[in-house]
Amino acid sequence: MNRFRAASLILPGHPLHGQPVDLLVHGNQLAGLEPVQGTLNTEAGDRDLGDAMAFAGWWDLQSDFRDPGTERAEGLAQGLTVAAQGGFAQVAPVASTRPCRDQPAEIQAIFLRGEQHVTGIIPVAALSAGREGSQLTEAHALVEAGAKAFSDDAPVRRPELLRRALEYHGSLGTPVFSEAHDPDFHSEGIMHEGTTSTQMGIPGLPEETETLRIRRDLDILRYSGGRLHIPVVTSASGIESIRAAKLEGLKVTCGTTVHHLRWTDEDLMGFNRDLKLSQPLRTGEDRSALREAALDGTLDVVVSDHRPRTPEEHDADFVVVTPGIAGLHAVGPVLWGALKEHGASDDDVATALSRLLSTGPRRVLGTEGTPENTVDSVTLFSPTNGALKSSSKAPNTVYSESTKGIRGRVVGVLTARGAHWN
């Protein structure tokens, strides 16, 4: 048994929160953690991890490895390697594969395919059969197969489908994911509607495309009960609607992408195709509101929204290029840098990372058996800058150590399945 010494454990509620800890490692697997004891025996394999902070293993609730369907953009095995480089102990691949994940056999298959990797898989099943938005999937059978949440990776267009989904899944205890975007409002828009889109001559998506859908979904939740999760919020007004709903007592959770905490629509000037997103980057005021929500607890999670492109999808004009950023490897450093830029202290940023990447995703999923004082996986993050590694083969991998605002680096991740060190 070896001891790997971390500078501090960042897990509010744990008796060792804020203290240096020794990670107990047996055969390259995490076996537990203890208060610092004695001197490390480096000759026997003990390691001092310097200023690295230990977090309960990070979970990402929205990644797309394009598998099956467009495996050559990334693929599951390659994607899980990139996830480990990003410090993630678990990731939730989206259900919008081809075919989509709407059968129990597909849930079982993705579990089996991920068994040999350090990073585990959180199965998300399709909410509707074929993702067609007409008929609910057989949720009970999918839950028995291991599904933890339900999402079409798209807006739920029919109010009646969302109502029935919330009522049915409420009895199962599984959250329903509903994308906050109304595809029938400004359907031709491809970036935030504002000064920048006007200067570029690009059709815009006003914030109302998001807030109209958020308010509708909250009204349905208020009527039906259940648990609603809004995966990506991009606007200040959207955040305010959710904040008010939480104060009202509605069972709603929400997230945003790390990209929306880093960039704004102005970064698209010059037709920067690398930052084109399906849920668009908005103004500096919106970004500031999202950063504040990340610090005050309104945001429950931050996701990578990892969307690798093929070369053909990437090498196209701005108007037609496939949206998305392949940034799973960089979530921690981008998030740390964004919140520091907002003026938060190191302690507040560390606490926010713990909530948004560790405990928040577990709460969204209602995961049982993992109380806050139990650590079954560890992500190690250093606030000192260093190399930002990614094995992603996608051409839209935009983050590197030279990217503006990047702060810190992932040192490694330890799980019961093994370890990955950067």
| Residue positions annotated with a catalytic role | 305
Cis peptide bond prior to 104, omega within 30° of 0:
no
Provide CB contacts within 8 A for 118, sequence distance 6+.
80, 84, 89, 413, 415, 417, 418, 419, 420
Query: If we measure between CA atoms, which residue out of 95, 93, 100, 85 comes closest to residue 61?
Result: 93
H or E element at residue 10:
strand 8-10
Length of the chain: 422
| Burial group, residue 195, by CB count within 10 angstroms (0-12, 13-18, 19+) | exposed
Alpha-carbon distance 92 to 125, whole Å? 10
Alpha-carbon distance 80 to 119, whole Å? 6
The alpha carbon of residue 244 and the mean position of all alpha carbons in its chain are separated, in whole angstroms, by: 23
In 10 A of CB 56, how many CB atoms?
24
